Amino acid sequence: MSYPSALVCVNQAQFMQLISSLSLTKNFTVIEPEHYDWLSGLSDSPDVAIIEVNTFEQSHYDTLQALNFCPETDIIFLSEGIPNPLLDKAVVRCAAYHYRTPIKRHNLAEVIEELTAEYQQRPRKTKSIESSELDQFGLLFGSSRAMKKLYRSLRKVAMYDTSILIVGESGVGKELVANTIHNASERAESPFVTVNCGALSKDLATSDLFGHVKGAFTGAVGDRTGFFTEAKGGTLFLDEVTEMPEELQVQLLRVLETGDYSPVGSNKVLNSNVRIIAATNRDLAQSVNLGVFREDLYFRLAQFLLHVPPLRSRGGDVEGLAKHFLAYKNASAGFGKKISDTAIAKISDYHWPGNVRELKHAVERAYIMSIDVIDGEHIILEDPLNDEVNDQSVPTGIPLAEVEKQAILNTLEEQHGNKSDTAKLLDISVKTLYNKLEKYDE
């Protein structure tokens, strides 16, 4: 059996007594340092640190914290059981084991055996991911042919004030595309304002977009600046534009044609010195045919149409993005976690219906669950769109309205409050979702 590569113990005599019957001593390095500071001399974080802490002061806590051992090392504290808030804090922060005297040999043996089995299965032929290999354009990353084609289009269109419509599946990074265009344009020094059209209240949508003056309607206790004014000189990004209320579509079309608008309740005409970039994850032709989106507004917005490729059509970018996200997590956390070939294969073979967003979340979740190597078991893949319904999970004897309510609220919680993704999973419009939620709040 393969044992942990390094085992640190502050009290060698006590340790030898505890494990004398385990037949493990020849496989461990046992060291008795005079001070906690000795740990800082290690070139790599040990796999396991067994530390006697009968005295544990602020300097000891600071040393452990500065070493950044916690995510890399399994720490086992041994103490006489004297209450010590600093020690309690260290145990919590490092998710450590803490055994108090009299220490039972079988308890420590059990932990060591479990850790030994875990280390034996852990892949070791991997390198710490410290850099990204992907090409970058603005806020976008990718080296595939599809992405390079997109970069060329963005570079060209950024030079002009043409209205742009970005089309792509949920999670492909449409807002990043819009922001990249803004940053590459002459408007880069002015605001980039994002509007989630599906979140616009039907009653207050006009005020949200164009602002209002005091007394314009009940509740208008003061002047309000709308999104058009906030984005003056810059870019107004209309996300999920097909969810915009129909009345507001008419007003937006008028602004796009004339360049002028007025706050609600005001006779003052303002000039809309903004560039419009819109985005949707829906089939626009179908939305137009169904009458939920104006055809004339579609053509006004889509002076330049951009298609953002889904992750499954980007070839090696899938693996590259996984390593890119891992490299940035390592840099921000100050660690050197790795990823196994098994995990890479699992990532590459998946179709990623949630696109880049889903991949990013999967890597971040795996980063938290892993110790020093992300393996296949840490990559959790969930495809709610393709899950088969389990007949036994469908409740009976409950009013349909209540079943619908729970389905909506549970899905919203799973999507961390993202209403656009929730609506897509439930196969309803964002507008319908908001109406349902407003009803539940009554």
Q: Where are the domains of the chain?
A: 7-121, 145-308, 315-378, 391-441
Residue 50 tokens read as 């067994």
What pLDDT does 20 receive?
52
What is the spatial distance between Cα 376 and Cα 366, in angstroms, rounded to a whole number? 9
What is the spatial distance between Cα 101 and Cα 108, in angstroms, rounded to a whole number? 12
DSSP annotation of 354:
T
What pLDDT does 22 receive?
47
What pLDDT does 282 receive?
84
Please tell me the pTM assigned to this model.
0.62
Give DSSP secondary structure letters for 270-301.
Answer: EE---EEEEEESS-HHHHHHTTSS-HHHHHHH
Task: Give me the average pLDDT of each 10-residue run along the chain (442 residues).
Answer: 40 49 43 46 60 76 67 71 81 72 70 65 56 82 89 90 92 93 91 87 76 70 80 92 84 87 79 91 82 87 92 91 90 84 91 92 89 88 52 58 79 75 76 73 58
Fold that domain 315-378 belongs to in CATH: Helicase, Ruva Protein; domain 3 (1.10.8)
What is the spatial distance between Cα 415 and Cα 413, in angstroms, rounded to a whole number? 5
Bridge partners (DSSP) listed for residue 192: 235
What is the spatial distance between Cα 303 and Cα 295, in angstroms, rounded to a whole number? 13
Strands (E) located in 125-191: 136-137, 140-141, 164-167
Strands (E) located in 286-343: 304-307, 338-339
DSSP annotation of 257:
H
What is the spatial distance between Cα 134 and Cα 233, in angstroms, rounded to a whole number? 33
Are 172 and 356 in contact by the 8 Å Cβ rule? The answer is yes
Instruction: Judge whether 7-121 and 145-308 match in fold.
Output: yes
Fold that domain 391-441 belongs to in CATH: Arc Repressor Mutant, subunit A (1.10.10)
End-to-end CA distance of the chain: 63
CATH number of the structural domain 145-308: 3.40.50.300
Question: Which overall architecture, per CATH, does domain 7-121 show?
Answer: 3-Layer(aba) Sandwich (3.40)
What pLDDT does 313 receive?
92
Give DSSP secondary structure letters for 362-386.
Answer: HHHHHHHH-SSEE-GGG-----TTT
Residue 413 identity: E
Residue 356 tokens read as 């880049």
